[in-house]
Structure 1
């Protein structure tokens, strides 16, 4: 019997609450984004803690992690620009093959010395190229 008046009253109450509800909509999106960032940061922190534990365990055991290859992901093979990787990270008895982002051999680190294929010939003759980096 009074349906029209009831709907009209509810519409009036809705209009009265619009100034309160409208500013909340962007805040809800910002809140959801902040919660997502907290979750990803928490996951990253857990990963870092696990890596630190693994590193400490390797150090206590006296085991050095060895890598036989190094990939420089922000460099593509060019005779005009020498990438000059950091050789201080490797032991003097390590031999590390260095690849560019496309997976081509660009040199080798031997006895703590960087040997670039354009300066030291025959460096990459016996090295098999690796798969290129795929970015999403």
Structure 2
């Protein structure tokens, strides 16, 4: 057995079949995530946060590592997160923000969110931004 598969199955808490493992490994390679514990934790968090769009992570990864991670540090409050979104010119509805934070107990402006929770949510915000820009461009054309 491969060591990365053991790490993934341990984090997942269950044994996975060969087809599932092959798909996970391909998705990790596409998203340019390392096949180690931190890479799998991020992959699982992305998949929980956004099952439909987690595969788009590779499109926004560079922006997250260069711009957002330094701004986030070890974590920020909810109100600081909203300000960060405004700086990135991302203006989602309150219900969209609540949906993004659903997996971590909901959004509160005074609550502190650590880096591991915020990175997948930032990825969703950037994917959201690209989708809304594409939709608005399609409506204009």
TM-score by length of 2: 0.22
Structure 1 or 2: larger strand share?
Answer: 1
Larger radius of gyration: 1
